[in-house]
Amino acid sequence: MLSPWAGLAFAPFTLWCIAFFRDPDRVTPNGEGLIVSPADGKLLPISQVVPPPELDLGAEPRLRLSIFMDVFNVHVNRMPVDGQIMALKYKKGRFFNASFDKASEHNERMSIRIRGKQREAADDLAVVQIAGLVARRIRCDLILGQHVRRGERFGIIRFGSRLDVYLPPGTIVLAKNQRVKAGETVLAKFL
């Protein structure tokens, strides 16, 4: 039988796991054309990048907003817009540190294409869940054709990871180099 002292040795790990898998309620802002953060974490520098080829969004570079989630952030992911799921593609890959740009291209990922309500294909945006150095599990609860609401939970990436948002042309970025909260922080807005 293990002594009570052995149980105390595992208490910090148990408490950390409880904190990691927390899923607080969020108040999603109302407003036409808002794009909210799909993840908690640190917004990395904005870049112009071609979206993942598996989503068929074309070869033109788009604004990419990347959110790095460390092990202390809430890792439940939320929808950035109201709309419909147009494509879902899982791609096996490596496990580089998620704060590196190469993680977006080389790491294991789940790519999601979303068409906003009353928008056209050219206005589709992409959300990409990316596994990191420690993260080894991506869970995405979406199905093709599903209608989703801004702020709605759709998955989780277990332990430190990254989430990229590829914006369509004609959006204005409103958040830069700051900490963001899933379902609450407005990242950008459709014109």
Tell me the mean pLDDT in the region 92-119.
Answer: 88
Q: pLDDT confidence of 19, banded at 50, 70, 90?
A: low
* CB contact burial 104-122 (16+ within 10 A = b; e otherwise): beebbbbbbbbbbeebeee
pLDDT at 57: 95
pLDDT at 172: 96
121 Cα distance to chain centroid = 21
Tell me the mean pLDDT in the region 23-51.
Answer: 94
Which pair of structure tokens corresponds to residue 11? 């208490």
Q: pLDDT confidence of 22, banded at 50, 70, 90?
A: low
Query: Where is average pLDDT lowest: 61-65, 119-123, 135-139, 173-177?
Result: 135-139
* Number of other residues whose CB lies within 10 A of the CB of residue 4: 6
pLDDT at 96: 84
pLDDT at 13 over 80: no
Tell me the mean pLDDT in the region 110-131.
Answer: 92
Q: pLDDT confidence of 14, banded at 50, 70, 90?
A: low
More confident residue, 95 or 92: 92
More confident residue, 89 or 161: 89
More confident residue, 123 or 4: 123
Q: Identify the active-site residue in 37, 99, 104, 161.
A: 161
Domain 28-190 sits in CATH 2.70.70.10: yes
Non-local CB neighbours of 160 within 8 Å, separated by 6+ positions: 68, 69, 70, 71, 98, 132, 133, 134, 135
Question: Are the CB atoms for 65 and 165 separated by under 8 Å?
Answer: yes
Q: What is the mean pLDDT of the chain?
A: 89
* Number of other residues whose CB lies within 10 A of the CB of residue 66: 25
Is 37 a residue of the active site? no
Tell me the mean pLDDT in the region 117-122.
Answer: 81
Q: pLDDT confidence of 2, banded at 50, 70, 90?
A: low
Q: pLDDT confidence of 101, banded at 50, 70, 90?
A: confident
CA distances from 160 to 27, 36, 59 (A): 24, 20, 29
